[in-house]
Amino acid sequence: DRVRAASLGFLTEGRGQTLAQAALRFALMMPQTSTVLVGFSDLEQVETAASCYAGKGILPEDLPRLAELYHAD
């Protein structure tokens, strides 16, 4: 829902990435993950997803906050 998505704004603010990019980077940074499947509707979405493979993962200081949000439900 929108409230939950808004609580993840710290992953995008001032970082030049969308929430979808942050989600892909989070999945890709997990050592147990070898493949992330993504759906596409247009070329822009393909390019956005591809840019995540060369990027860095979620910042280490953001991981505790993500865990807190996860366990809040």
Across the chain, which has 73 residues, the per-10-residue mean pLDDT values are: 89 89 90 89 91 80 92 83
pLDDT of residue 53: 80
pLDDT of residue 17: 87
pLDDT of residue 9: 92
> How far, in Å, CA of 73 to CA of 61, rounded?
21
User: The pTM is what?
Assistant: 0.80
pLDDT of residue 55: 62
Q: Compute the half-sphere exposure of residue 69: CA atoms within 13 Å on the CB side of its CA.
A: 14
List CB contacts of 45: < 8 A, sequence separation 6 or more: 38
